[in-house]
Amino acid sequence: MESRKLPPTAYELEEGQEFVPLTQGETLTEFTGKAVASGIVLGIVFGAANTYLGLKAGLTISTSIPVAVLTVVAFRLFQAFGLKHSILESNISQTVGSASSSVASGVLFTIPALFIWGMSPAWAQLTLLTMAGGLLGVLAMVPLRRFLIKGEHGRLPYPEGMACAEVLVAAEGGGRQARGVFLGIGVGMLFQLLTQGLKLVRGTFQVALGYKANLSISVSAPLIGVGYILGIRIATVMVAGAALSAFIIIPVINWWGSGLAAPLYPETEHLIRDMSAGDIWDRYVRYIGAGAVATGGIITLIKSIPTMVESFKLGMRHLTGAAVVGDDRTDRDLSFRTVILLAGAVLLVLTFVGGILGYLDQIPARAVASLLIAVFAFFFVTVSSRIVGLVGVTSNPTSGMTIATLLGTSLVFLLLGWTDLAGKATALMVGTTVCIAASIAGDTSQDLKTGFVLGATPRWQQIGEVVGVITSAGVVCLVVMMLHRGVPGGLGGAELPAPQAVLMKLVIDGVLDQSLPWALIGLGVGIGLVASLFRIPVLAFAVGVYLPLSTMAAVFLGGALRWALTRGHAREESERRREEGVLFGSGLVGGGGLTGVLLAVWVVARGGAPIRGFPPDLSPAALQGLAALTIAALMGLLVWHVRRRPA
pLDDT at 249: 95
pLDDT at 324: 45
Nearest C-alpha neighbor of 187 from the set 561, 557, 596, 590:
590
Nearest C-alpha neighbor of 526 from the set 223, 356, 343, 289:
289
Q: Are 47 and 103 in contact (CB under 8 A)?
A: yes
Instruction: Give residue 616's pLDDT band: very low, low, confident or very high (50, 70, 90).
Output: low
Q: Summarize the confidence of residues 408-414 as an average pLDDT.
A: 93
**What burial class does residue 320 get, using C-beta atoms within 10 Å of its C-beta: 0-12 exposed, 13-18 middle, 19+ buried?**
exposed
Where on the phi/psi map is residue 369: left (φ > 0), alpha (ψ -120 to 50), or beta? alpha
Q: Summarize the confidence of residues 333-341 as an average pLDDT.
A: 89
Distance of CA 254 to the CA centre of its chain: 31
Name 208's bridge partners.
214
Lowest mean pLDDT among 59-73, 91-105, 457-471: 59-73
| Distance of alpha carbon 277 from alpha carbon 257, whole angstroms | 13
Q: Calculate the average pLDDT of the chain.
A: 83
Instruction: State the sign of the Cα–Cα–Cα–Cα dihedral 469, 470, 476, 477.
Output: positive
Instruction: Give residue 615's pLDDT band: very low, low, confident or very high (50, 70, 90).
Output: low
Q: What is the CA radius of gyration of the chain?
A: 23
pLDDT at 540: 79
Q: Summarize the confidence of residues 12-33 as an average pLDDT.
A: 83
Higher pLDDT, 484 or 503: 484
Listed in sequence order, the residues at least 6 apart from 181 whose beta carbon sits closer than 8 Å to its beta carbon are: 166, 167, 170, 171, 583, 584, 586, 587, 590
Listed in sequence order, the residues at least 6 apart from 118 whose beta carbon sits closer than 8 Å to its beta carbon are: none
pLDDT at 647 over 60: no
pLDDT at 57: 56
Q: Are 510 and 159 in contact (CB under 8 A)?
A: no
pLDDT at 646: 62
Q: Summarize the confidence of residues 495-523 as an average pLDDT.
A: 81
Provide φ and ψ at 204, rounded to 5°: -140, 135
pLDDT at 325: 47
Q: Summarize the confidence of residues 221-235 as an average pLDDT.
A: 84
| Distance of alpha carbon 430 from alpha carbon 405, whole angstroms | 8
Higher pLDDT, 76 or 513: 513
Numbers of helices and strands, H then E, in the chain: 24, 2
Q: Summarize the confidence of residues 119-146 as an average pLDDT.
A: 92
Instruction: State the sign of the Cα–Cα–Cα–Cα dihedral 466, 471, 472, 473.
Output: positive
Instruction: Give residue 337's pLDDT band: very low, low, confident or very high (50, 70, 90).
Output: confident
Instruction: Give residue 236's pLDDT band: very low, low, confident or very high (50, 70, 90).
Output: very high
Listed in sequence order, the residues at least 6 apart from 303 whose beta carbon sits closer than 8 Å to its beta carbon are: none
Cα angle: 164, vertex 50, 134; to 5 degrees? 75
Quickly list DSSP for 478-522.
HHHHHHHHHSTT-BTSSSB--HHHHHHHHHHHHHHTT---HHHHH
pLDDT at 538 over 90: no
Listed in sequence order, the residues at least 6 apart from 140 whose beta carbon sits closer than 8 Å to its beta carbon are: 343, 377, 378, 381, 382, 437, 441
According to DSSP, residue 357 is labeled S
What is the three-state SS of 514-565?
A: CCCCHHHHHHHHHHHHHHHHCCCCHHHHHHHHHCCHHHHHHHHHHHHHHHHH
Q: Are 141 and 441 in contact (CB under 8 A)?
A: yes
539-596 per-position pLDDT tens digit: 778 878 887 898 889 989 999 999 999 988 888 888 888 878 877 887 887 787 677 7
> In this structure, which amino acid lies at residue 191?
F
pLDDT at 551: 83
Indicate the Cα dihedral angle 600, 473, 371, 392, nearest 10°. 40
What is the three-state SS of 8-69?
A: HHHCCCCCCCCCCCCCCCCCCCCCCHHHHHHHHHHHHHHHHHHHHHHHHHCCCCCCHHHHHH
pLDDT at 335: 87
Q: State what percent of residues in the chain have pLDDT above 90.
A: 31
Q: Are 409 and 355 in contact (CB under 8 A)?
A: no
Listed in sequence order, the residues at least 6 apart from 61 whose beta carbon sits closer than 8 Å to its beta carbon are: 50, 53, 101, 394, 593, 596, 597, 600
Cα–Cα distance list, 454 to 21, 160, 176, 457, 523 (Å): 5, 14, 19, 9, 44
Q: State what percent of residues in the chain have pLDDT above 70.
A: 87
Lowest mean pLDDT among 267-271, 294-298, 306-310, 407-411: 306-310
| Distance of alpha carbon 161 from alpha carbon 144, whole angstroms | 16
pLDDT at 614 over 80: no
Residues comprising the chain, all counted? 647
Q: Are 42 and 67 in contact (CB under 8 A)?
A: yes
pLDDT at 471: 94
| Distance of alpha carbon 213 from alpha carbon 276, whole angstroms | 10
The pairing of beta strand 204-208 with beta strand 214-218: antiparallel
354-365 per-position pLDDT tens digit: 888 877 778 999
Provide the whole-model pTM. 0.74
Q: Summarize the confidence of residues 527-541 as an average pLDDT.
A: 88
According to DSSP, residue 312 is labeled H
Q: Are 449 and 154 in contact (CB under 8 A)?
A: no
pLDDT at 604 over 70: no
pLDDT at 475 over 70: yes
283-329 per-position pLDDT tens digit: 899 889 878 877 887 776 677 666 556 655 654 554 555 444 456 78
Q: Are 201 and 218 in contact (CB under 8 A)?
A: no
Instruction: Give residue 138's pLDDT band: very low, low, confident or very high (50, 70, 90).
Output: very high
pLDDT at 310: 60
| Distance of alpha carbon 342 from alpha carbon 336, whole angstroms | 10
DSSP reduced 3-state for 218: strand
Q: Summarize the confidence of residues 341-347 as an average pLDDT.
A: 95
Instruction: Give residue 436's pLDDT band: very low, low, confident or very high (50, 70, 90).
Output: very high
| Distance of alpha carbon 284 from alpha carbon 287, whole angstroms | 6
Instruction: Give residue 27's pLDDT band: very low, low, confident or very high (50, 70, 90).
Output: confident
Distance of CA 546 to the CA centre of its chain: 14
pLDDT at 1: 47
